[in-house]
Structure 1
Amino acid sequence: MTSEATYKFIAFLLIATIVLELIARRLRLPPAASLIVGGIVLALMPGIPSIHIDPDLVMLVFLPPLLMSSAYFTVWSDFRRHFGGIASLALGAVAFTTLAVALVFHLLVPQLPWAVGFALGAIVSPPDAVAAGAILERLQLPSRITTLLEGESLVNDASGLVLLRFAVAAAMTGTFSTVGALGALAWVSTGGIAAGLLIGWLGLIAIRKLGNSELVVTATLLLAVVSYISAEAMGSSGVLSTVTTGLLLGWHQHGTFSAETRVRAQAFWGILVFLLESLLFIMIGLSLRGVLERIGGLRHGASELWLPILAVVVTVIVARFVWMTGAGTFRRLLRKEGQRPDATSTFATTAIMSWAGMRGVVTLTGALSLPADFPGKDILLVAAFAVIVVTVLLQGSTLGPLASLLKIINPEEARSIKDNAAAAWRRVAEAQYRAVQSLALGKDGVIHHPRLLEQYDHRAKVAALYEADPTKHDDIKSQHFGAVLAANRAGRAEILRMHRAGEIHETVMRQLEHELDLQEMAAQNRR
């Protein structure tokens, strides 16, 4: 396609993503599933050009900002507290799945070397950060499960990519070094984390000097790309480097970024992630035509392909459940008498976390990155595509109903968070009141800010009453902020009337509107 045709096709895909997103919401389906199906339908339509994905370009353009966003908004305290479980999934589950897939594939396709099976296992073993995030953000799962799944998808690519690298080398050269593989894994991990820390630290120094919110938000995007490229140039993990940089920025954003920057950054990253995720999933569906073209020469053996591909898909799903069950049993055996059971050891939790192993763009790009003369590349590409489609469509679409069936939603956690928020608002209101109180009384003993003092005193008292009995005051709180929103709408209508009548300048209108926007956001969050 020409450059102009490519631009028009991308615009067409963006229109398609909006339509498919609306369809997904109407049918209550995960948008990722709707986008992949839509992409497959488009791929089979006449006149739609074939999409040939450049794996290196996809990894460079799409992955850094998506990883940065996920890491930036990760709750660091939860990530650190559950790091043992995250490491078990990111290392143990990936290695176990790789081994299981390699064994099954070699049994069914014995004419190909063992290394080919290991390469396929490494490609399909790591659940994808993009796929997991797109599904999990619409489910109300317990925070522990969400933290483990999101944390796993952020760091498991390092182990999967290292295994793939050595499997490819073994298949092409016929040699394999266990010591070399372990050493490479150590360097990929430590080098990526070190690069991410260094770039994140330098980025924070630069951000403190920028000041302007547009420049700061732009700098966070550039830091994602620089962190990824720098680590890859060192031969270490660009994924871990970008995740580390994102975690560092996310931890320091509250003290380093201004309120305006945080509001704009949240809006910017929300839109960017939506666009990138949508394009990725629809491109996965569109890549079906390329997959079909590649296996066109293998149609004489199509009847023999379906069994190993189906076996690989089933093995990927079952292996994760086996690992989760075994890990939970092992933790129970190690648990001391009288110690509380591990929340991840129950059957319901194990089932949900096992069923949540969606694969996505990393699996597809891993398959596409295989050398042209790699043994059995066509079969591996079809198997990888099948794993993506089945895990996203089947598991992603049924994860919510399964969580409801197993009653995995924990009302006590939601109640605890609500109580915690009430206590936090009470302490914030008291701190604000003390600050105003110290400034209200002048040296002459006269109160200079009586209305402000009264306002913050009232806030502190209401916050204390609400903390003592949230249920009793829920209706009062809802009515209060409902009135605030009504007043906000009236003010907004008056601003718009004055602007259209030519009574106020455009700049004044925008300033007043921005203040009302912030007030509305605060009221909606508290209602």
Structure 2
Amino acid sequence: MHEQLPFMLALVAAIVLIEMLAKKWRVAYPVLLVVAGLLISFVPGLPRVVIDPDMIFFIFLPPLLFEASWSISFKEMKKWWRIIGSFAFLVVLFSAFAVAIVANHFIPGFTIALGFLLGGIVSPPDAVSTAAITKFVTIPKSTSAVLEGESLLNDASSLIIFKFALVAVGTGQFLFRDAITDFSWMVIGGVGIGLLFGWLFMQAHKRLPTDAPSDIVFTLIEPYFLYWIAEQLHSSGVLAVVSGGLFLSSRRFTILSGASRIKGFSFWEALIFILNGIVFMLIGLELPEVVAGLRADGISVRTAFGYGALVTGILIIARIISSYTAMMATFLFRRSVIPVAPQRSWRSILHLPLLMGWTGMRGVVSLAAALAIPSMLNGAPFPQRNLILFITFIVILLTLLLQGLTLPYFIKRVGFVQFSKALSEEEATHKAKTLLLKETLRFLKESDQEGPGNPHLSYMVEQWERKLREPEKFRITEASKKAYLDLLDLQRRFLVGLHNDDPEIHSDIINRLIHQVDLEEERIRS
């Protein structure tokens, strides 16, 4: 352990430096991390990186999924649930099915069960890779909501496929009736466990005398506990984490203080960055071990690379085809979501599914699932494990390099279109700020009428009226501190209500404004 500590610290430092280079070169950092991990793996004398397959899911997946469920807009998920559901379930299922058929037909020794196992591993696109790449270009909020919602739910659907395929490989048979029963329990039980224990954690946050550090510790424990209890009950730990995370995130403004939200955001941002960085580096670091396993199985690297390229091509084609199908079905059953393109450009509308299909970079979940394949099965080596690991690595590498490096160019060339008419971010932000200022003035004037002659309230009325014309900072005296804190609490509650009532204002804008209110509250309290 002590011998590997300097290596692990150096690895974390390398992740930070590579992320800095990625920003400077305007390249998605997952691409550089994978390449860097691959290059580092060839340095002689480095400690061997060994990951326990039984622990890979438990270490990485719960916090990654939990943070994603807190970051996504539940309001936007409800708005675009048809498109999100199509991509998260139908597209993943079709991709896994296509991989299973092709693998069974072209790769020697691959049964249908092994093909579905591979398909379940490589079918879900990676949210981190997509987010890291699309941040260099401007995409509509509606498209961003669909991609985020898909990435959150497709992990659950793909891992359910993975688990059933793993059972089929182990038993040599697939009982449809038992599968339906198990599948129903995994879905219903996973969601139910997540909601039940999410409610219990909500009560803990509300009723216990917590502060910012204890709230952060609670949020760190929650995803691991949700995942563990669901897995112990043979349900879906992934769905438990996702449903529990969505339940808690939708109530974050009532169960967490402003200080807890501010400090928790910084903590989770750093934690998720390190976890993602380690996983992407492991993709490269694990390659020599996988290659050694391939050679021990008598499979040449060139042949295995061909299989990986074949699976990558099938995944890209299947996602593009299913993207067109899913979009057509969605627009057919709900005409109100026909995209609104600039200058009514039908060319942009027709290219939209192609761009959506091209966002299918693979990453963290695929690697975690592949590494979670047990080394032994029924006392014998797991069939084709090394080949599955190598193919997964090639799929991740090729999709990151091929799609990841070209996606910004395609977006700039063609451009995403809105799914419906919507205000621009600048217009929506201006609208939200104007409504907030008007509500603030209304509250201050009513308070001034209730207690006439209060110089502090009169001063705030004057300053907020000036802020409508020309925003500027002003100091708050100790005497008016309580009144100002009440005002900030009113602003927060108003913004939460505005988020629920006004469909034109995106959740990101509301969260950003509430974050500013939280910061102002911390400044006043300090």
Deviation at 1:38, TM superposition (A): 0.6
Deviation at 1:319, TM superposition (A): 0.7
The DSSP-based 3-state class of the residue aligned with 2:308 is helix
Q: What letter corresponds to residue 397 of structure 1 in structure 2?
A: L
Q: Could you tell me which residue of structure 2 aligns to residue 341 of structure 1?
A: 338
Deviation at 1:379, TM superposition (A): 1.6
Deviation at 1:217, TM superposition (A): 1.6
Residue 421 (structure 1) aligned with residue 390 (structure 2)? no
Q: Could you tell me which residue of structure 1 aligns to residue 12 of structure 2?
A: 14
Deviation at 1:300, TM superposition (A): 5.7
| Match of residue 157, structure 1, among 136, 140, 155 | 155
| Match of residue 378, structure 1, among 383, 386, 390 | 386
Could you tell me whether the CA contact under 8 Å between 1:128 and 1:361 is conserved in 2? yes
Q: Could you tell me which residue of structure 1 aligns to residue 344 of structure 2?
A: none
Could you tell me whether the CA contact under 8 Å between 1:154 and 1:239 is conserved in 2? no
Change (3 A) 1:243 1:411: closer
Change (3 A) 1:521 1:261: closer
Could you tell me whether the CA contact under 8 Å between 1:119 and 1:168 is conserved in 2? yes
Change (3 A) 1:21 1:267: same
- 1:211-226 paired onto structure 2 within 5 Å: 211-226=210-225
Could you tell me whether the CA contact under 8 Å between 1:89 and 1:152 is conserved in 2? yes
Deviation at 1:410, TM superposition (A): 6.2
Q: What letter corresponds to residue 311 of structure 2 in structure 1?
A: V
Q: Could you tell me which residue of structure 2 aligns to residue 446 of structure 1?
A: 453
Could you tell me whether the CA contact under 8 Å between 1:53 and 1:287 is conserved in 2? no
Could you tell me whether the CA contact under 8 Å between 2:58 and 2:224 is conserved in 1? yes
Q: Could you tell me which residue of structure 2 aligns to residue 496 of structure 1?
A: none
Could you tell me whether the CA contact under 8 Å between 1:145 and 1:349 is conserved in 2? no
Q: Could you tell me which residue of structure 2 aligns to residue 465 of structure 1?
A: none
Q: Deviations over 1:188-213 (max 9, x none)?
A: 11111111111111111111123311
Q: TM-score of the superposition, structure 1-length normalised? A: 0.82
Larger displacement relative to structure 2 (135-144 or 189-198): 135-144
CA distance in 1, matches of 2:197, 2:386: 39
Q: Could you tell me which residue of structure 2 aligns to residue 466 of structure 1?
A: none
RMSD between superposed Cα atoms in Å:
2.9
Deviation at 1:442, TM superposition (A): 6.5
Q: Could you tell me which residue of structure 1 aligns to residue 88 of structure 2?
A: 90
Q: What letter corresponds to residue 242 of structure 2 in structure 1?
A: V
Q: Deviations over 1:416-462 (max 9, x none)?
A: 3322222222222222223222333576x534333223112323x42
Could you tell me whether the CA contact under 8 Å between 2:91 and 2:319 is conserved in 1? yes
| Match of residue 53, structure 2, among 52, 55, 67 | 55
Q: Could you tell me which residue of structure 2 aligns to residue 265 of structure 1?
A: 264
CA distance in 2, matches of 1:99, 1:33: 27
Residue 434 (structure 1) aligned with residue 442 (structure 2)? yes
Residue 354 (structure 1) aligned with residue 333 (structure 2)? no
Q: What letter corresponds to residue 192 of structure 1 in structure 2?
A: G
Deviation at 1:261, TM superposition (A): 1.7
For structure 1, the residue ranges without an aligned partner over 5 or more in a row are: 463-475, 486-514, 523-527
Could you tell me whether the CA contact under 8 Å between 1:158 and 1:188 is conserved in 2? no
Larger displacement relative to structure 2 (309-318 or 149-158): 149-158
Deviation at 1:378, TM superposition (A): 2.0
Q: Could you tell me which residue of structure 1 aligns to residue 106 of structure 2?
A: 108
Change (3 A) 1:192 1:136: farther
The DSSP-based 3-state class of the residue aligned with 2:110 is coil
CA distance in 1, matches of 2:361, 2:133: 9
CA distance in 2, matches of 1:340, 1:171: 42
Q: Deviations over 1:354-401 (max 9, x none)?
A: 111121222123222324323222221111111111112222222222
Deviation at 1:519, TM superposition (A): 5.7
Could you tell me whether the CA contact under 8 Å between 2:142 and 2:419 is conserved in 1? no
Q: Could you tell me which residue of structure 2 aligns to residue 490 of structure 1?
A: none
Could you tell me whether the CA contact under 8 Å between 1:50 and 1:289 is conserved in 2? no
| Match of residue 370, structure 2, among 367, 371, 376 | 367
Q: Deviations over 1:200-245 (max 9, x none)?
A: 1111111112331111121111111111111111111111111112
Q: Deviations over 1:330-369 (max 9, x none)?
A: 3444456xx5625699333212211111212221232223
Could you tell me whether the CA contact under 8 Å between 2:121 and 2:162 is conserved in 1? yes
CA distance in 2, matches of 1:390, 1:230: 36
Q: What letter corresponds to residue 351 of structure 1 in structure 2?
A: L
Q: Could you tell me which residue of structure 2 aligns to residue 78 of structure 1?
A: 76
Could you tell me whether the CA contact under 8 Å between 2:120 and 2:161 is conserved in 1? yes
Change (3 A) 1:166 1:70: closer
The DSSP-based 3-state class of the residue aligned with 2:39 is helix
CA distance in 2, matches of 1:330, 1:303: 40
Q: Deviations over 1:23-57 (max 9, x none)?
A: 21222110111111110100111122222222332
Residue 253 (structure 1) aligned with residue 281 (structure 2)? no
The DSSP-based 3-state class of the residue aligned with 1:346 is helix
| Match of residue 99, structure 1, among 97, 100, 103 | 97
Q: Could you tell me which residue of structure 2 aligns to residue 318 of structure 1?
A: 317
CA distance in 2, matches of 1:455, 1:135: 42
Deviation at 1:77, TM superposition (A): 0.6
The DSSP-based 3-state class of the residue aligned with 2:455 is coil
Larger displacement relative to structure 2 (245-254 or 122-131): 122-131
Could you tell me whether the CA contact under 8 Å between 2:53 and 2:372 is conserved in 1? yes
CA distance in 1, matches of 2:183, 2:200: 26
Q: What letter corresponds to residue 381 of structure 1 in structure 2?
A: L
- 1:125-144 paired onto structure 2 within 5 Å: 125-144=123-142
Higher relative contact order (CA 8 A, sep 6+): 2
Q: What letter corresponds to residue 439 of structure 1 in structure 2?
A: S
Change (3 A) 1:246 1:332: closer
Larger displacement relative to structure 2 (292-301 or 243-252): 292-301
CA distance in 2, matches of 1:424, 1:516: 13
Could you tell me whether the CA contact under 8 Å between 1:43 and 1:50 is conserved in 2? no
Could you tell me whether the CA contact under 8 Å between 1:127 and 1:358 is conserved in 2? yes
Change (3 A) 1:343 1:86: farther
Q: Could you tell me which residue of structure 2 aligns to residue 502 of structure 1?
A: none
Q: Deviations over 1:58-115 (max 9, x none)?
A: 2212221121111112111101112222221221111111111111112212443222
CA distance in 2, matches of 1:342, 1:456: 40
| Match of residue 399, structure 1, among 400, 404, 407 | 407
Change (3 A) 1:14 1:520: farther
Larger displacement relative to structure 2 (98-107 or 423-432): 423-432
CA distance in 1, matches of 2:369, 2:360: 17
CA distance in 2, matches of 1:6, 1:417: 47
Change (3 A) 1:332 1:434: closer
Could you tell me whether the CA contact under 8 Å between 2:125 and 2:362 is conserved in 1? yes
Could you tell me whether the CA contact under 8 Å between 1:50 and 1:287 is conserved in 2? no
Could you tell me whether the CA contact under 8 Å between 2:194 and 2:241 is conserved in 1? yes
Q: What letter corresponds to residue 407 of structure 1 in structure 2?
A: G
Change (3 A) 1:185 1:157: farther
- 1:239-250 paired onto structure 2 within 5 Å: 239-250=238-249
